[in-house]
Structure 1
Amino acid sequence: MSAGRPGRGLVLTVAVVTVLAAAPAAPASVALPEPRERSAAGLLAELRRLYRETEAATEAYNATEERLTEQRAEVRRLDRRLSDARLSLRDSRGAVGRLARQQYQSRSDLSPYLRLLLARDPHRALDQAHVIRRVSRERAGTVRRLAGSERRADALARAARRALDERLSLTARRGRERDVVRERLRGVEELLASIGDDQLRRISELERERTAGAQRRLLASGALGGVRPPTEDGAAALGYAVEQIGKPYEWGAEGPDAYDCSGLTSRAWARAGRPVPRTSQEQWKRLPRVPLGRLRPGDLVVYFPRATHVAVYLGAGLVVHAPRPGAAVKVSPIAANPVLGAVRPDPEGRPLTRYTPVRLPEGASAGADEGYGSAVAPGGGPGAGADR
């Protein structure tokens, strides 16, 4: 191409620019449509992210709800103690008032020494002096009790005020966290509404394929070890969890009609006589850890880096859990979600010498773990009312 002559590419560029300039401009308020075709893998990744964020928000709500329950009990306890202290203070003030009246009525300008010298019977006077000293000590004790009652009442009043302020703060925080859960669920619902049936089927197939692959790799690695029997309490907790199969997931729910993930595990172990923390994070934080190779039925399997999901180990590489909104309590492969680790609520328990594996109801594994259905909890979810 010689210098000074426009090349073919430049001519084409000028022509395109000319045509675009002549075309009418699109209104500024009209947004360009998003691409209609999105990959199933991308949609699956987005759904998993939204569900994970929803579950994290749910567990934060559950933790605040548990703390609020404890704080309500603390407020009631302090109120009862303050009421008792005020009754004691009233009694002390009455005793001091009577003491003041008695002192006024028995008032004398003579000192105890002069009264002793003027007494007709000094021995009797000495006895009276002893009684007077004892009465004086009792009067001093009455005054001290009054001062102590006042201090206790003041301290309890301050503690009750702080406890009430904390309860109000927790109530406000619970409301904010409830709103975050609802916002996350709306995000899931909006994404699901934008996905066609064919794509949704492909997403479900893709997740099942990924779960099956992760399960095969985990079992092939030998990380789960051999078969181990549960303890008596572990068998009871697992039995309760299995009885809940088919009941819907509902965020913040602890049964008996619906559950979220940690609502199921905490209720199962409570029914076994071993209360555990309410949330998956606290279960992971406070319960003794156990290697996957030593898992036994009833142990709790915790998922995701932030411990935002939890399930009851069934045995044979399976768990019972409440998966996600739109799904129901079911049996799933242990690798249905990324495993963080496992904890054992009864580390000192002795494994049963005879154990018959729990019998699963028909369709225990039916239904997709992903719960790609209605994401909104009935009635707007728990905690919709005012502080109670």
Structure 2
Amino acid sequence: MNRRHCATAAITLVCALALLTAPVQAMAAPVPEPTPSATAPTAGGKTLEEVRQEIDTLYRKAGAATDAYNLAEEQAEKQSGEIVRLTESITEGRAKIAELKDRAGAQAREQYRSGGLPPGAQLVLSGDPYLFLDGISQARQGQQATKGMLTELEQAQEDLETYTQDANLNWEKLEAGRVKQAKAKKSINAQIAAAKKIESQLAAEERARLLQLEKDAASTAQAAWLSSGALDDINREASASGKAALAFATAQIGKPYVWGAEGPGSYDCSGLTSQAWAAAKRPIPRTSQEQWRQLPRIPIHDMRPGDLIIYHSDASHVGMYVGDGSIVHAPRPGRNVTLAGAGSMQILGVVRPDK
């Protein structure tokens, strides 16, 4: 009996040891199947990576068209203001000409009442030498006044003609700008619609993977930029104006991108940066291309928070450097104002609004 108990205990111990030493995978949960690769074709026949690049290209074209639209709008506002100023000048000029003509008419009526004789003849016929001498002086003053009035009238008429020509020229520019705006608007809507159509044709799982591909591409670009040593020795502090601009820009995080918008509820990329610097009492150009063209450029290694980083070879995108290798920017339609890696896109250069 004791032997049977000992044998049973031995068998139990062996079974327990076998369970404890069994391979882990035998007791683990089933391993999930790997997700499809970015190189796997979608329903449309293209790989997700090809789709990502196509959508990115469409949105970049929309961004360039948005810049053209914004510039045309900015120019139209300036021309409209100039037309208003010229219209006021034309109105003032017409009033001045009318006043001068009234004065000239009054002089003509006075001459008619005096019999139509010239002042010199009237003085000779007076027979009074003192009156004659005094009249000579007054006549000369009257002649000078008449001559001055006629000169002033002639100048007023020339000015009026110039104002009218300038106003007509500005109207022509304004109309040309409106045509340019309409073309840019059409292009923007077409590019955005094409991008949205491509995304809408993807399955929900594919859209999720597409978003991950976008993040991966941005992370890869950022990592390459950081590993290049671009941020070495960049530890400068923002200026007082830069801090104010940065505070405004970061306060907009979470608001949607809308092309042509400059707040307060939504922004496009340059709408965000221009309004941020306007809040810092340093007005800058409205568009990213004009910001690149007009603002002082600085080397990347001299960059400090508040500076603007211009992206792509056509300067069609802009973000504000916040420090630690990051920017705040309004990315594109369908996205919100957010933080991103400063090197996640192709950098064209850096500009400083308060240099």
Is 1:243 paired with 2:246?
no
The one-letter code sitting in structure 2 at the alignment partner of 1:259 is: Y
Residue of structure 2 equivalent to 1:265: 273
**Distance in 1 separating the partners of 2:116 and 2:334:** 87
Q: Is the 8 A contact 2:296 2:352 kept in 1?
A: yes
- How far, CA to CA, are the matches of 2:223 and 2:174 in structure 1? 48
Aligned to 1:41: 49
2: CA distance, partners of 1:237 / 1:214: 27
The answer as to whether partners of 1:224 and 1:295 remain within 8 angstroms in 2 is no
User: Secondary structure at the residue paired with 2:328?
Assistant: strand
Q: What secondary structure sits across from 2:90 in the alignment? A: helix
Greater C-alpha radius of gyration: 2
2:237 partner SS? coil
Q: State the 1:122 CA deviation.
A: 2.0
- The farther-off stretch of 265-274 and 187-196 is 187-196
Q: CA deviation at 1:103?
A: 1.8
Q: State the Cα distance separating 1:111 from its structure 2 match.
A: 8.0
- What is the one-letter code of the residue matched to 1:191? I
Please tell me whether residue 211 in structure 1 is matched to residue 218 in structure 2. Answer: yes
Structure that is richer in helix per residue: 2
Deviations 1:78-99 (A, max 9, x none): 1111111111111011111111
Question: Match for 1:132 among 115, 118, 139?
Answer: 139
1:51 pairs with 2:73:
no
Does 1:195 find its partner at 2:202?
yes
Task: Quote how far apart the aligned CAs of 1:35 are.
Answer: 6.6
The 1:317/1:109 distance shift into structure 2, 3 A limit, reads: closer
Q: Which residue of 1 aligns with 2:326?
A: 318
Q: More deviation in 231-240 or 137-146?
A: 137-146
SS at match of 1:340: strand
Identity %: 36
CA distance in 2, matches of 1:70, 1:241: 26
Paired letter, 1:247: K
Q: Cα deviation per residue 1:305-332 (whole Å; 9 max; x = unaligned)? A: 0000000100000000000100000101
Say how many residue pairs are matched: 313
Change (3 A) 1:119 1:207: closer
Q: CA deviation at 1:120?
A: 4.2
Partner of 1:233: 241
What root-mean-square deviation, in Å, do the aligned CA atoms of Structure 1 and Structure 2 show?
A: 1.8
Q: Distance in 1 between matches of 2:117 and 2:338?
A: 90
Specify which of 67, 70, 82 is matched with residue 62 of structure 1.
70
> In 1, distance between residues paired with 2:108 and 2:126?
26
TM-score (norm 1): 0.77
Paired residues for 1:325-364 under 5 Å: 325-347=333-355
Unaligned runs of 5+ in 2: 1-41
Displacement of 1:172 after TM fit? 2.4
Mark the CA change 1:115 to 1:233 in structure 2 (over 3 Å): closer, same or farther: closer
> Does the 8 Å contact 1:302/1:341 carry over to 2?
yes
- In the alignment, which residue of structure 1 is the partner of 2:9? none
Q: Residue 297 of structure 1 contacts residue 314 of structure 1 at CA under 8 Å; is this kept in 2?
A: yes
1:86-127 Cα shifts (integer Å, max 9, x gaps): 1111101111111111122224558837944x6544243112
CA-to-aligned-CA distance 1:233-272 (integer Å, 9 cap, x gap): 0000000000000000000000000000000000000010
The answer on whether the counterparts of 1:280 and 1:307 sit within 8 Å (CA) in structure 2 is yes
CA distance in 1, matches of 2:44, 2:256: 32
**Are 2:123 and 2:131, in contact at CA under 8 Å, matched by a contact in 1?**
no
